[in-house]
Amino acid sequence: MDFNMKKLASDAGIFFTRAVQFTEEKFGQAEKTELDAHFENLLARADSTKNWTEKILRQTEVLLQPNPSEWTGTGPGARAGSWWQRLAGARVEEFLYEKLDRKVPSRVTNGELLAQYMTEAAGELGPTTPYGKTLIKVAEAEKRLGAAERDFIHTASINFLTPLRNFLEGDWKTISKERRLLQNRRLDLDACKARLKKAKAAEAKATTVPDFQETRPRNYILSASASALWNDEVDKSEQELRVAQTEFDRQAEVTRLLLEGISSTHVNHLRCLHEFVESQTTYYAQCYRHMLDLQKQLGRFPGTFVGTTEPASPPLSSTSPTTTAATMPVEPSVAGLAPPGEAALCLEEVAPPASGTRKARVLYDYEAADSSELALLADELITVYSLPGMDPDWLIGERGNKKGKVPVTYLELLS
């Protein structure tokens, strides 16, 4: 107990001394050992990496964190408060399961919850009515969207969020610990420099001729004794300075190596970012396919409003050598080969024009909605051409002895 109390008192004294020294450095009243410019740049880059990693991690958690529970209360304030409460509660739950080394139970997603409500509504309002049938179809699509969302959240959490957390909770804590040790070593080094400076000043003053009015031998003996004492103090201070300098250099090298490892962290986070983008691309592609299927199913229901018949994207110019879809295509309106009110064109009677045919590469798989359309597979090459009076969102496509209408937004026209 006595030893612990002495150690506690000693640590408190060292802490107080360093606090005073640090304050004097801030006010310019004490000398400070400066780190080289490269080291300072490494420190700044490490701090920036830590700060932005925290922000990206928090915002990605907000993006991925599902909030499936029902709203409570009324009004925007109640809704916002409930959302944040659920968000915080879900993260606390994840933290507890992680500490207990148990798997976090899967939660129902927003899409699956919406599917459940639509299915229940269809059962109550009449599953055989047009509205009830549509609710069931949309519910099935929303359920598939919810499952795709869950897979995306799981993949992104493992491949992106976990590496970011590991950096903040592992590597960064080690770097912070070594930086604190380096700061203490620097304060010790500066304290040794200050003590040596004071000892040398006192030694120089003691070696001068004593300013005594009496020049008795006793005064010279006292002066020589003081000079010897300060000489010993200078030797002791120089020894302490050498030890402090060695410890500071060693700790600076350890910290430097850790800070230079931030470059490896950037490489690792870059790889994780690519994986996050890949998983997000897969998720949105799945959502797009599910909605395409739903749109086709709704289009077969009589009296169902599918969408506007205006072109989903500007018509392709036949003068441009190559046109690439910049975004995921939107299903064009199924308008047929002829405008409304005119007779539909028979595909068997369609012949390619003498000039104006072009090769096209298929960008996405496309399932023919009826016999007048041509099914497509991604990356295959087909011959396409247009006919007078055709919807600008469609072309005639030929592959071998098969032909049919194909949507323009699924094609990359080649020169």
Sheet holding 381-385, edge to edge: 402-407, 394-399, 381-385, 358-362, 411-413
Q: Give 10-residue mean pLDDT values along the chain (415 residues).
A: 56 60 60 85 95 95 66 41 48 60 70 92 91 92 92 92 94 94 88 85 72 50 64 86 92 94 94 95 93 82 42 41 41 42 54 78 89 90 88 89 90 85
Pairing mode, if any, of strands 411-413 and 381-385? unpaired
Taking the alpha carbons of 116, 118, 119, 123 in that order, is the dihedral positive or negative? positive
Beta-carbon-side half-sphere exposure of residue 129 (alpha carbons within 13 Å): 9
Question: Would you say 22 and 187 are in contact if contact means Cβ atoms under 8 Å apart?
Answer: yes
> In angstroms, rounded to a whole number, what is the distance separating the alpha carbons of residues 273 and 56?
11
User: Residue 160: what are its φ and ψ, rounded to 5°?
Assistant: -125, -55
- What is residue 54's predicted lDDT score, i.e. its pLDDT? 95
> In angstroms, rounded to a whole number, what is the distance separating the alpha carbons of residues 97 and 349?
67
Question: Would you say 170 and 258 are in contact if contact means Cβ atoms under 8 Å apart?
Answer: no
Nearest to 395 by CA among 354, 349, 347: 347
- What is residue 9's predicted lDDT score, i.e. its pLDDT? 58
- What is residue 42's predicted lDDT score, i.e. its pLDDT? 94
- What is residue 276's predicted lDDT score, i.e. its pLDDT? 95
Whole-model pTM: value is: 0.57
